[in-house]
Amino acid sequence: MKRRNFITRTSLNTLALGLGINSLANANFKQNQLKLKPSEKLASGPVAICTWEFTKANATAGALLDQGLPALDAVIKGVAVEEENIKNTTVGKGGSPDREGNVTLDACVMDHTGNCGSVMAVESITNVAALARKVMEDTPHVILVGKGAEEFAVESGFTAENLLTPETEKLWKEWLKTSDYKPVINIENHDTIGMLGLDKDGNISGACTTSGLAYKMKGRVGDSPVIGSGLFIDNTIGGAAATGMGEEVIKTVGSFLIVELMRNGMSPQEACEEAVNRIVSTNPNHTNFQVAYIAINKQGETGCYCIHPGFKMMKYSNGENNPVVAGSHLK
């Protein structure tokens, strides 16, 4: 799509929303829905993709999609594999704590109807993606943080537990000796898990869950639970998810940006590359941090891209679950 058309369409959409005039947005919505004829819906079959080489988590979601589960159920069950994996120090129970020794989890979910839920800085609940879904479905709100989210979780039947394991406590105490805080580029090739699912009905949903940056300041929240940054879904277009330096993803509203770029004609791959480009082109410091994106469109096409080499996406389709090495801005 030509740059001028892109700008015109994007700014008209923004104008329409800003003025509360939704006829133009509705027209685009209908147009995009019409692009998908029923016979095209399942052209690809169900697809699950996730950030990093979370093989089991992605295979779990993929198998559930093949069984016919809605995408939201499949991705929440998929990411739960890593939330419950205490060996993974970047997600859920066993995640690295903040610099004061508190493990604080962030997560969000978004479904094919545009509904979303998020929890931030949760200290005692392992399955925070499922909790974000509860916020979405059982409260009048989108986001609950800290103690409020924890109390709501217990009232909703979640079990409160200590998320700091002896291993992560030991690592944190080691870290305290220097207290040297610097971004880590790729942690053992696994990190925040963002997952996107396309189900048998052609609907897309996503989940994103993390313990955030190790040894962050108390109260720090990254991109992962921020709708539009760590995750965004528009079921007429596709979805995107992010991992890496959350501050940089938030500044460019990365996942929303990718979906809007796809709306304006880019493939998932092109959109991920452009979103990384937005960060690196304005930030000379980009050699010091990692950001990686994954995306899927309504046709089941996928893409991924990152700043530093070393990022992989898992992709489940046609019953096969394989890692995909992402292209990178730095070689």
Residues that bind ligand SD4 (CB under 6 A): 191-192, 210, 212-213, 222-224, 243-244, 246
Please, which residue, 64 or 108, has the CB nearer to ligand SD4?
108
Residue 43 C-beta: closest distance to ligand SD4, Å: 31
Question: Residue 244 annotated as binding?
Answer: yes
Minimum distance from CB of 291 to ligand SD4 (Å)?
Answer: 8
Give min distance, CB of 278 to ligand SD4, in A: 16
CA-based nearest residue to 292, from 199, 200, 219, 187? 187
Minimum CB–partner distance for residue 292 and ligand SD4 (Å): 8
Looking at the Cβ atoms of 48 and 249, the one nearer to ligand SD4 is 249
Strand 238-244 relative to strand 231-234, pairing:
antiparallel
Question: What's the closest the beta carbon of residue 161 comes to ligand SD4, in angstroms?
Answer: 21
Q: Are the CB atoms for 72 and 111 separated by under 8 Å? A: yes
Q: Does the annotation list 314 as a binding residue? A: no
128 annotated as a binding-site residue: no
DSSP string, 82-139: HHT-TT-TTSSTT----TTS---EEEEEE-TTS-EEEEEEESS-S-HHHHHHHHHHHS
Distance (Å, rounded) from C-alpha 121 to C-alpha 177? 25
Q: What is the DSSP string of 53-68?
A: S-HHHHHHHHHHHHTT
Question: Is 165 part of the annotated catalytic residue set?
Answer: no
Phi and psi angles of residue 28, each rounded to the nearest 5 degrees, phi first: -65, -40
Closest to ligand SD4 by CB, 52 or 158: 52
CA 108 to chain centre: 8
Catalytic residue among 104, 192, 252, 302: 192
Whichever of 224 and 317 has its CB closer to ligand SD4, that residue is 224
> d(Cα 164, Cα 214) in Å, to the nearest integer?
12
Residue 21 CB partners (closer than 8 Å, separation 6+): 15
110 C-beta neighbours (distance < 10 Å), count: 33
Length of the chain: 331
| Token couple for 301 | 């096409």
> Is 221 labelled as part of a ligand binding site?
yes
Does the annotation list 220 as a binding residue? Answer: yes
Segment holding 218, helix H or strand E: none
CB of 192 or CB of 255, closer to ligand SD4: 192
As measured in angstroms, the least distance from the Cβ of 212 to ligand SD4 is: 4
117 or 246: whose CB is closer to ligand SD4?
246
Q: Are 218 and 121 in contact (CB under 8 A)?
A: no
What is the layout of strands, in order, in the sheet containing 291-297? 231-234, 238-244, 291-297, 302-306, 327-328
Is 223 among the annotated ligand-binding positions? Answer: yes
Q: Would you list which residues are annotated within the binding site for substrate? A: 220-223, 243-246
Annotated catalytic residues are: 192
Q: Would you list which residues are annotated within the binding site? A: 220-223, 243-246
